[in-house]
Chain A
Amino acid sequence: MPVFISYDEADVGRVMSISQLLTAWRVPNWMPPRQNISAAQRAQIQAALAQADTLLRICTAATSQSYWMTLEQAAYLSMLADAFRARQPLARRLINLRLDKSYRLQPFDYADPIIDASDPQGSGWQSDLHRALMGA
């Protein structure tokens, strides 16, 4: 059940906390590198995407202009499409974790689970995320 965490480099601090939370839940996860990416790292990112059964998109103010997040979403959707055509629609999934209210949800975001963690006082999102990752 490896989780590929797709994020913008501007959010690396917050995303590390989320990665640690997933690790505490014993959910294998991986944060791809974001700076000075070499050809080998690029290949590593592609391999990790192919192996991931969940793409966790960290949706923040930086998302709409994030080069890597856009690429990763498009690539993962291609794999979702392949799984759909192979009649294995549950083989992969995409989850949107919204950290900032300034992230404007796009219509296609509503095709997948959206977990709202944008309320700094709220903690219910953690149980929602846990449920979504466990497929409940």
Chain B
Amino acid sequence: MFGNGQVFISHAHEDNAICQPLLAALDAWQITYWFDLQELDPGQRFADKIQQALEQHDLLLRVATAAAERSYWMYRELQAVRGLQHAFPNHPRRIIHLALTPGLVFDATARAEMVIDATSMERPAWLRALREALGYTPQPRVSRRTAIAIGAASLVAAATTVLAARFYFAAPPHTVAALKPATTPQSIASDPKALAQRWHYDFNFSADETAFGGDQRVGLAQDMDALYAATNSGLAVKALAPQDGKVLWLFPSKTSSITTLSNAMIIQVYQNVVYLIGNITTNALASNAFVLLALDKTSGNLLWQSAPISTVNGNASDLLIADNTIYFMGNGSVYAYRLNGTARWQPVSLDPHGGSEFYPNYPMPVYASGMLYVVTNPGKLYALDAVTGKVRWSLQLPGSGTLPGQYVIAAPLVFNGLVVVGSPDNHYYAYDAARGTLRWKSLSPAQPNTDFQEFTCMSQPTYAQSRIFAQSGVTDGLAFKGGRVFAFDATDGHLLWQVDPLQLNIPFQLHNAVVVANFEPATVIGDTVYFTLGCISTDGNQQGVEVLIGLRTQDGTLVSYFLAPVSGVSIALSGDFPSGGRPVANGLAFLSSAPILYVLNT
């Protein structure tokens, strides 16, 4: 293979479908490639990871079509690689133009690079020509598709290098009423806006789980190849095929030196490795300890485990993987580990109290341009140098305090030099990422929390298309105030639209329902923003549903939805929330708090 053996595929978004034979061929040849599934706006074009992808891939494969001729962004990608060729003549880069529509004219520069005209030959012939141009020789490794998905954690990742979304339930476990495996209610089966279920996996009823009494809490990561679920029972980690839910592997295996793994709900997938934090017991070690683990994502085999992390007691944040480092929060400190499991720097203690009785878990750190942004409670926002862990600046978020309703529970969003975070005083605040100076604040449309004895939910915001999407509400076990989902302008924070989910034409079939807001970030895919939230009846009948709603980013019009029945008690009292709307192969994943994992067709 040429250079570093990786291919950056430059293509027009509207050519996604006609690129499929090309992607299938690259998969078959076990060639790693970068293929951007989403149409990005100008701000997202400069996300660190896209720039890195262009820089790190030695071969630009330009899918030349009529649409490509009109694409300015493809033009810039081509010009950028040509500029890199000129600036770094000792670092060879190649450009291949693959013509997939007839009648295109290539200039002398393009012809000198390489043109493969797929329109003048049969598919086997042009694939053979491409294979030879790539210098393909079979390698004994599994192919990997690096596809970016802009949305939710991955939209946060438009300004970071988080490569896979994860779902995590943050509240302490409570007994959840046993549910039968979910079905789609008959009344909505014919609704064209109702998303169809491809398969579901019930963590309480699956055969794998019953020997351990079922799972009640699940963390989930996903990429285009599989969904990776980490649970709090004995059979802790499993990989599921997105096509049919088939279990691909389980960890710990019968031959593993680790005999039990529990409380492993912090999971992330990055490149070919699944990373997680869990409490292990080994054959050699009778006692148990929290460690960071790395598993081969295709086999589930253990690659390494870190030394025990003595100060983390299970209340760790989600894992952020950026700049070849694993970052997380735990016990009031920020941790940084290299991708081989060794500590990059000593934990930096930011919260001497080590968490709170009201909200022991920390929001995950967020990375952008060499900086980490973290929130601790009560309500402090920190910016740290990601290389050294040194604090660059910090500030107290307005409205935060020591009452339960004054805690900040969601991670910030970083984009375009701004840090945006929801504060319990019902505002989202945008600060200059470099200096921490206030740029704007945006009022949430949800009813404000006036006594701060209740649980204030201001979700992690999501950025796309020059807008910020979020949801908020006040969600205590006994007193609910209506949750709202909304969009505001990313440049000055003014409200663009807001939606009361109960006013949408969705058959919730609940009497006297109220909306339970969720702190999970929304996901944007194309022109649709997906939110997950709960609705419960206030009639005391323990009825509830969790819902995935897809709204048009432009105006909040309902595009699609999916309903998952759950016990209203579980939403109200356990504090568990649904999660998802995250892209998997040709579909969306949605995890209810039952917990049941649904994969939906889109």
Contact = CB atoms under 8 A, between A and B. Distances in A.
B417 A111 contact: no
B417 A70 contact: yes
A127 B386 CA distance: 39
A106 interface: yes
Interface in B363-387: 369-371
B490 to A, nearest CB: 9
Interface in B404-455: 416-418, 432-434, 439
B358 interface: no
B80 A74 contact: no
Contacts of A85: 70, 72
Given A66-B434, A71-B416, A108 B54 contact: yes
B338 interface: no
A107 B54 contact: yes
A12 interface: no
Contact of A110 (B70, B79, B369, B416): B79
Interface in A43-81: 62, 64-71, 73-75, 77-78, 80-81
A110 B72 contact: no
B45 interface: yes
A74 B159 CA distance: 14
Given A70-B46, A74-B42, A85-B72, A111 B80 contact: yes
A85 B73 CA distance: 11
Contact of B83 (A64, A74, A75, A111): A111
Contacts of A109: 80, 83
Interface in B32-46: 41-43, 45-46
Interface in B11-50: 41-43, 45-46
B72 A81 contact: yes
B433 A67 contact: yes
A123 to B, nearest CB: 21
A40 to B, nearest CB: 13
Given A67-B417, A70-B46, A77-B42, A107 B79 contact: no
A74 B415 CA distance: 12
B51 A108 contact: yes
B491 interface: yes
B62 to A, nearest CB: 14
A71 B45 CA distance: 12
B80 A84 contact: no
B555 interface: no
A73 B417 contact: no
Interface string A98-135: 00000000111111101000000000000000000000
B416 A108 contact: no
Contact of A108 (B80, B432, B439): B80
A65 B415 CA distance: 10
B76 interface: yes
B527 interface: no
A107 B53 CA distance: 9
B416 A74 contact: yes
A74 B46 contact: yes
B80 A110 contact: yes
A82 B433 CA distance: 30
A35 to B, nearest CB: 10
A80 B434 CA distance: 27
B45 A108 contact: yes
B418 A67 contact: yes
A64 B416 CA distance: 9
Given A66-B434, A74-B416, A107 B72 contact: no
A28 to B, nearest CB: 25
A118 B87 CA distance: 16
A106 B52 CA distance: 8
Nearest to A79: B42
A108 B46 contact: yes
Contacts of A67: 416-418, 432-434, 439
Contact of B369 (A65, A74, A78): A65
Contact of B42 (A64, A81, A112): A81
B50 to A, nearest CB: 8
B43 A110 contact: no
Given A65-B369, A67-B417, A73-B46, A111 B79 contact: yes
B51 A106 contact: yes
B83 A71 contact: no
A62 B434 contact: yes
A17 to B, nearest CB: 23
Nearest to B466: A74
A75 B42 contact: yes
Of A42, A65, A71, A114, the most chain B CB neighbours within 10 A belong to A65
Of A62, A69, A84, A110, the most chain B CB neighbours within 10 A belong to A110
B434 A110 contact: no
Contacts of B416: 67, 70-71, 74
B191 interface: no
A110 B42 contact: no
B84 interface: yes
A71 B434 contact: no
B106 interface: no
B304 interface: no
A66 to B, nearest CB: 6
B78 to A, nearest CB: 8
A66 B79 contact: no
A108 B70 contact: no
Contact of A74 (B43, B54, B86): B43
B61 to A, nearest CB: 16
B345 interface: no
Contacts of B2: none
Which 5 pairs show the lowest CB-CB distances between chains A and B? A110-B83, A67-B417, A65-B434, A81-B72, A111-B79
Given A67-B416, A84-B75, A111-B76, 7 more contacts: A67-B417, A67-B433, A85-B70, A108-B45, A110-B79, A110-B82, A110-B87
Interface of B: 41-43, 45-46, 51, 54-55, 70, 72-73, 75-77, 79-84, 86-87, 369-371, 416-418, 432-434, 439, 491-492
8 contacts: A65-B417, A65-B434, A70-B43, A84-B72, A108-B80, A110-B82, A110-B83, A110-B84
